[in-house]
Chain A
Amino acid sequence: MKNKCLPASPVDSARRQATLGLLLAASVLVLAQSSLANTPTIRLFPTTVVEDLRQTGNVARDMETGLQEVIGRLDQQQQLYQESKCDGAENDSGCQRLARQIGATYLDMLTIMEERLPDMEHTVNNTRISLEKGLRNELGKKMTPWELQETLVGKAATGTTTEASPTLRGRSGMRLSERFKQYYQLVATSGSQSDQSLAVLASDIYLDMEETSLLIERTRQEIARATLMEQLNQSFGIITPEMMEVVGGVKSILFGDEESRALVAGPPPGSIEQAYRSPLEQ
């Protein structure tokens, strides 16, 4: 009773203000959360997909790291072979020994690829299955064609939106599947392309993963064939042109020797005055 009649000390009033501030902040947060909950969101990237993507990237990186060392060794051996003027002197016993060493390193490279590919296949398939489910449910079954268009354009967008545009397939540089296509070409002696809003991005990755799964499968078959061929060559100490091509290709993937695709210039910006909106516009 007494306390109620006492004037508030400056400390008390500061504490009260702080409490009031906290309460206000908390209510703002609650309000913001409830308004977010009312906003329709497309669940195309659940945490599992993100985790799968990360893992795929790690597996790919591990494979690249593993190959880098072997490639370096191959480079040195090849240099030695050339400096020893072995081209055209294949019958020389020293050159034959060098050729066998190169062949053995080449087999190491194929073995590393063969060892890492099942992991890659597993993570790629996980990502593909998760994305497939999301695309089917969120874009395929929950949306009409018009709603899909609105999602892609952005609901707030009128005819003249200037929001940052996502990169499309074929323009986002070298993709995972492109790498694998190259791996496949190296081994099989046989090229491809590549990107978003959330829907575009998910579609691109999904199609990429589909392609990648197929390429991994074909690459594994080709590795088996190439390994057998090289095991036979080992007894003769021969460096085949195919081997050199494979090694050159792997290097271009790892060290980015491939010519980067030139970007196409965008259109000149339109006039802002064009923002007329017809009552007929949908």
Chain B
Amino acid sequence: MNTNFLFSLLRVSGVLAAVMALASCAANEPSCPSPQTRNLDSAVGFVKTSLKTGCQTQFDRFYDDLLTIAEGDPKPENKRTFSEFLVWSGDQGLLSTRQAESYYNRYFNVKFMSMKGDYNNCSHTCPNKQRVLFDMERELSDKERGLLKVSEDREGYYRADRLYQEVELVLEATCTACTAGR
């Protein structure tokens, strides 16, 4: 009986020790707050510091924060700021080159990252046409944010919008032709 009690006591104390250890770990985790400034350059500086001090997992949220801040002061130069930030992120090993390209092009390029692939259109794009178009539509709204609201690049955004419509039309025709040839 006494032995049982001793074992139980040891088990409880073990669990307690583990909880304490976890709590102390959590207390050491950085809080990773969003930048509070409305100035894009200062915000980028703040985010860089956070990313270097253990907040890498929050990259997506920080990128979104920066876009929101840039929307408050839209100008063509913002494109460069984001590009330089992404290149820095790649140099720091936070992003791969492909990831950095994707983050940039999704928001600031006319062309669609969601329309990529290594195989021909008949075999790759056509069977997934609806999904490709859906993804492109979502990307177009990111381009609206990056090109129009952040960079004031109206022409670029309207070209992307037209490209989307052209792709929709060309895919409809090409996929019909692919199917007819089977």
Residues of A whose CB lies within 8 Å of any CB of B are: 131-133, 135-136, 139-146, 148-150, 152-153, 157-162, 165-166, 168-169, 195, 197, 199-200, 202-204, 206-207, 210, 266-271, 273-274, 276, 278-282
Q: How many A-B Cβ pairs are below 8 Å? A: 170
Residue among A157, A159, A160, A274 with max Cβ neighbours from chain B (10 Å): A159
Please report the C-alpha to C-alpha distance between residue A266 and residue B167 in the assembled complex, in whole angstroms.
20
Do the beta carbons of A146 and B116 come within 8 Å of each other? yes
Please report the C-alpha to C-alpha distance between residue A115 and residue B48 in the assembled complex, in whole angstroms.
76
Please report the C-alpha to C-alpha distance between residue A169 and residue B104 in the assembled complex, in whole angstroms.
31
In the complex with contacts A159-B147, A279-B87, A145-B121 CB distance below 8 A? yes
Do the beta carbons of A148 and B121 come within 8 Å of each other? yes
User: Is B14 engaged at the interface, CB distance under 8 Å to the other chain?
Assistant: no
Please report the C-alpha to C-alpha distance between residue A165 and residue B153 in the assembled complex, in whole angstroms.
17
CB distance from A122 to the nearest CB of B (A): 18
User: Is B58 engaged at the interface, CB distance under 8 Å to the other chain?
Assistant: no
Residues of B whose CB lies within 8 Å of any CB of A are: 76-77, 79-80, 82-83, 86-87, 100-101, 104-105, 108-112, 115-122, 124-126, 132, 147, 151-156, 158-159, 162-163, 165-167, 169-170, 172-178, 180-181
In the complex with contacts A145-B117, A145-B121, A159-B153, A282-B169 CB distance below 8 A? no
Can you spell out 23 A-B residue pairs with CB atoms less than 8 angstroms apart? A131-B177, A136-B177, A136-B181, A139-B121, A140-B121, A140-B122, A143-B120, A144-B116, A144-B118, A145-B132, A152-B163, A152-B167, A153-B159, A161-B159, A204-B169, A269-B155, A274-B152, A276-B77, A280-B100, A281-B105, A281-B109, A282-B105, A282-B111
Question: Using Cβ atoms and an 8 Å threshold, which residues of chain A touch B87?
Answer: 279-280
In the complex with contacts A136-B122, A141-B120, A149-B112, A159-B83 CB distance below 8 A? no
